[in-house]
Structure formats: C-alpha cells, structure tokens
Structure 1
C-alpha cells in the first residue's frame, strides 16, 4: 500500500523500508528529542538493522520533493504477536500529519494481514498522540530496568 499527503505544499509518501534505510532509521531513533534526559538510556545503543527491517513490516514516510527521499518518519509492525513496535517522526517535521499518516498506513497493513487489534507499549510522552489517533488505553507495562526504568502506558488499536 502506498499512501501520501501533501501538507504545506510538500509531498509525503509511505513506502516499504529497505536494508539501506537501516542507518537512517537508527539515527532517527537515537536522535529523537523525545528520548532526552532520563529517557536517553532506552535508545543509547538502539539499532534498527537490515535484519530487523527484513523480519518485520517496516515502512518509511519520505519527502517526495527531496531527490534523496529524505526519511521523515517510520513505523514497524510486528505481526506475531501483533504490536506496533516502533513509530518515530523526525523532530523537525512533527505536527505535519506524518504520524497520523503512518498510523493509518499501519492500520491498513494490519487489516490486510488479517489482524483485529494491534498492541502499543507507548513511550510515556507519546500516550496523548496514540490516544488522539484512536488507540485505547488497556493497562500499564511495568518498568524493565536498566534500559526502561519507568512504567509505560499500554494501548491497543482495534482494526476494523
């Protein structure tokens, strides 16, 4: 499935991630301002490798006006058990509808895969975003030190 929006005059398309995207996705995760301060330990050594991209449903939002296809965000859908494992939007492009576009794309992919729900264990500051785009709060995932020293909201997208 290919999706696109054109907020602010720029074109955005969603495409399947490929192995050569791995370094860009890793940089996006590690450089996210959402993981500064006490959250930094969670992503300090995080790596989105080519093997991860091949094993899961990973899609990127790219700037279609950029000849290099600049990555604006991405998500990863794990099919078994169904979970939105990662969703990141580049810091400078947040608020343009990219996150919403990626969630809608993920839901369409989940539907096509025959899933009826997708779990999300959210970074605490992202809970409001997930609820705004339709996820329902189902509980709390307990801290898992040393990398995750805080409880996290657990949510679920119902796929209809």
Structure 2
C-alpha cells in the first residue's frame, strides 16, 4: 500500500523500504537530536541493516519534488510480535505531519495483517508524540543496561477492524 499526503513541506509518499535504503535509515537514527546527551549511546553504533529491511515491514516517507526524492522518515512494524520497533522523522521534517502520516500508514498495515493492537516501547522524549497520535499508555518498560539505562513508556495503538 502506498499513501501520500501534501504536508506543509510538499508532497510526501510512503513506500516499502528496500535494502539500498539501509544507510539512509541508519543516518536518520544516528543523527536524531532526540538521542543527544544521555541518550546518545543508545544509537551511536546502531545500524539498520538490509537484512532487517527484508525481514520486516519497513516503510519510508519520501519527498516527491522534481529536484530529488529524499527519505525524511521511516517506521518498522514487526508483525510476529505486533510491535512498532522503529519510528523516526528527520529533524528538519518534524512538525510537518510526517510522523502522523507514518502512524496512519502503520495502522493500515497492522489492520491488513489482522492485528488488533500494536505495542510501542517509546523513547522518553517521544511520549507526547505517541499520545498525540492516539496511542494509549499501558505501562513502563524497565531499564536494560548497558544499552538503555532508563525506564521507557509503553503504549498500545488499538487497531479497530476495517
């Protein structure tokens, strides 16, 4: 399923990620300002690998202008566990509806796969975003040192049937 919107930044399309997107997605994760300071170690060595993209439902948001097509966000839906594993929007594209577009697309994919909920273990600074796009707080995931030295909020997206 492809979806598109025209947020304030211009036309954006969501498409299935392909192996050659791996480096761009890795740069998005590692370059996120949300992971500066105390959170930097969590993503310093993180890599989105081509085999990860091939094994999971990974979708990218790309700009559709005549000059170039650019990845400005992505998400990863793990069907086996019913979990939103990754959701990132480029810093310069935040506040333009890209995250909301990706969540709506994820919900549609989850519904098509027969899921009635999708779990998210959120990065603490993203809690407001998840609440704003309709996720329901369900608890707290404990710290998991050394990679994650802090508790994280847990959410569910409730997926109504079509």
TM range (shorter): over 0.9
What per-residue deviation string (whole Å, max 9, x for no partner) do you get for residues 64-87 of structure 1?
Answer: 115441001000000011000000
Q: Does 1:104 align with 2:139?
A: no
Aligned residues: 160
Secondary structure of residue in 2 paired with 1:29:
helix
Structure 2 length-normalised TM: 0.97
Secondary structure of residue in 1 paired with 2:115:
coil
Aligned to 1:13: 13
RMSD value over aligned CA atoms?
A: 0.9
Could you list the runs of 5+ residues in structure 1 that have no partner in the other structure? none
What per-residue deviation string (whole Å, max 9, x for no partner) do you get for residues 29-85 of structure 1?
Answer: 000000000000100110000000000000000001154410010000000110000
Structure 1 length-normalised TM: 0.98
What per-residue deviation string (whole Å, max 9, x for no partner) do you get for residues 81-135 of structure 1?
Answer: 1000000000001000000000000000000000000000000000110011010
* Residues 1-160 of structure 1 mapped to structure 2, 5 A cutoff: 1-8=1-8, 10-65=10-65, 67-160=67-160
Once the two structures are overlaid, the 10-residue window that deviates more, 58-67 or 94-103, is: 58-67
